[in-house]
Structure 1
Amino acid sequence: MKLRRIIGIVSLVVITGATIYGYLIYKDIFSANTAFPEREVAVYIPSRATYNEVEEIVKPYIEDMERFRMVAEKKSYTGNVKSGKFILRSGMNSNDIINSLRQPVPVNVSFNNQETLYEAAGRLAQQLEPDSLALLKSFTDKTFLQENGFTEDNVLSMFVPNTYEFFWDTPADNVREKLAKEYRKFWTPERKAKAEALGLTPLQVSALASIVHKETVKADERPRVAGVYLNRLEKGMKLEADPTVIYAIKKQTGDYDQVIKRVLYKDLTIDSPYNTYKYAGLPPGPIAMPDISAIDAVLNPEKHNYIYFCASVTNIGYHEFAVTAAQHEVNRQKYVAWVNKLGIKR
C-alpha cells in the first residue's frame, strides 16, 4: 500500500509539474507579445540579415524578447531568416509573429514626374531595398540597353508612371526587368499602330510626350498642344519648345533643382541637342517622365491648323493658340506684358 501511495504521489507530482510546464510553454507561445499601440506595423528585414539583426529590428515592437527568442528557436527560424517587408499586428503572440516573419508582403511602388534617370532611381530607392546607385548601374547596363533598344538618353522612357507591385527586397536587375516588361506591355499593338501612323517610334512618342507634359498640366489641353508640335514636325519646322531649353540649361549646369519660370533670348543659343530652338527634330530622349495622359495625347492628337501657342493671361494654366505668326505675336505680347508686370525675370 505504501509503495502504491508513493507511486501515486510521484505520478501526481509529475503530472502536475508537466501540466504547469505545459501551461508555461503554452503561455510563452500563445500569449500576446506585441508592444505597439498601432493596429499594425511594417518591419523590413534586409537581404542576408542574421537572426541577431532581426532581433534588433523587431525589438521595439516585442514585449518579451525571451519569449520571442524561445519560439524562434523552437520553430527553427533562427537559422532560416527571410528578407522583405513583413506586417506585425497588435496582439499577435510569438508564434504568430514568427509565422508573419516568414511571409513577406508586396509593396506598392509608384513614380511620376521625375526629370532624370537619377531622380527615378532615387524615387525607387525610397520604396525598395536596392539603393539608387545599384539601380542606376542596372538601368544603364550596356547589354541591357542594347538588347532592349534603349540608350542612356532615352531609357527613362521605360518608366511608365503607374503603381507597380514588388517585393521590397527585389534585386535591382529584377526591378529593371519588371519595368521593361511593363513598358512592353504598355505599348500595345494599338498604341504602336497609332505611333506608326504619325511616323514616330514609341521612343519618339515618349520624347514628344515629355515636352507636352511639361508644356501644360491640363490633361484636357494636351491633345491640342500635341497637335501643334506634330504640325510643326510635318511642316519641317523646329519644335522651339521652351521646356527643352530649360532642360538643356539644367543638364548643362547639372542643377536640376533650379526653378526657371522664364526663358530668355540668350538661353535660346545654348548648344545642346535638347535645345529645340537650335536643333530640328525631337531631342535625344524625354526631358521628363511623361505621364500616360501625355503619351496618349500624342497618340491621339487634336486635329487643327495651329502652329503657335502661348500661355494665356486670362485663362491661367491654359494657352492661347494661333495659326499665323501675326496672331501669335499678339498673344505673345500680352504674355510678356503680364510677366513683366509680375516682375518675373527668370
Structure 2
Amino acid sequence: MSKPSLPPQLSLIIKNVDLRVGFSELSTDLQANYPSVKNVIRMKNKFQNEIRLVKIELLSTQDRNQLLARGKIMINHISYDVVEYLAAANVLICSKCMGLGHFKKQCKETTETCKVCRLACQDLKNHQCTQQAKCLHCGGNHNSNALSCPVVKQFRADLTKKLLSNINSYVQPKLVQQPINNNSNYMQYLANFPPLPLSHYTPVTNPNSVIIQKLDELNNNMMKINNRIGELVRKTDKLEKFMVEKIESDTENLKRIQMTEMISEANKRDISSLLDTVHYMAQFLLKLNVDQNGRTNDANFKYNLERHCTQLAKCVEKKGNPKK
C-alpha cells in the first residue's frame, strides 16, 4: 500500500533537473541537506514520460517558506530554481443535481438527480433506481459524479488553467511610504519603477555534462592520435619498401661491378699474352735478319724492330707493375 502524499501546501517544485541526473543520488543529497524533505517525486507528463520537474514534500512549513523565499535550492553543488507547487483544482460536484462547480447548499434546483441512472425525482429516498449507470454529463456508462468522466476532466483542466493564468497575471502593487519631511508623506508604487537588470553570472554547469564533454575531447584526441599513427605506419611502410629496393639495386650494381672487374682482368691477361707473343716474334725476326757471318742484313729494319721491342717491353713492364 502506497503512502499518502502530503498536502500540496507543503510541496515545492524544483525546475530544470536534468533527466541524466541520478534520481537516487538526488534524493539522498536532498534529504541529507534538508531533513524536513519527506518525499522526492519525479514528475511525469500525460504520456507518463519523466520530465525535468521534481516535486518535494516537506514536513516543515518554515523550511518550505524559506526555500520559496530564496527561490533557489542547492543539490550536489548545483543551484536549481524552486517554485510553488500548485495542485490540480478539485472539481465540486453537487450531490443534489450532479451539477459541476457548486455545493448542495448552493444548489438552486428543486428536484434531486440520481447519480446512477441520472433520473430526476423529488426525493431520492423514494426513488427506485434502474442500476444502469448513465452519466448526466456525457451519457457514458458510469456514474454522474465519476471523476473519470471526460466532461469532469475537461472542467478540471479548464479550471486549473484559469487559476494558473490568474496567478501569473496577478501583480500586487507594493506600497512604500517614505516621509519627505515632517509635514507630508508620499506613496510610491514599486510597479512603476522596474528593477535594475540582474548582474551577469556564470551558471553552475552540470558535472555530468562536464565529464561527458571531457570524454568527447579525449575521444577526439585519441582519434587524432590514431590517425597520426596510421600516417606514421604508412610512411614506415614506404621507407621499408624503399630500403628493400635500395638493397636490391645495390646488389645488382655490385654484381655489375664484379662482372666488369672480371672482364677487365681477363682483358689484362689477354693483352699481356698478346704483348709477349709480339715480343717473341720480334726476337725471331731479328734472328732472321742476320746472315751466316753474323752480320745484319737490313740495319733500318733492325733499328725499327728493336725500337718497337723496347716499347713493347716497357708496356709489358707497366702491365706487370701497375701504379698504386
TM over 0.5: no
Which structure is higher in RCO with an 8 Å CA cutoff and minimum separation 6? 1
Give the alignment's TM-score, normalised by structure 1.
0.16
Q: Which has the larger radius of gyration?
A: 2
Higher strand share: 2
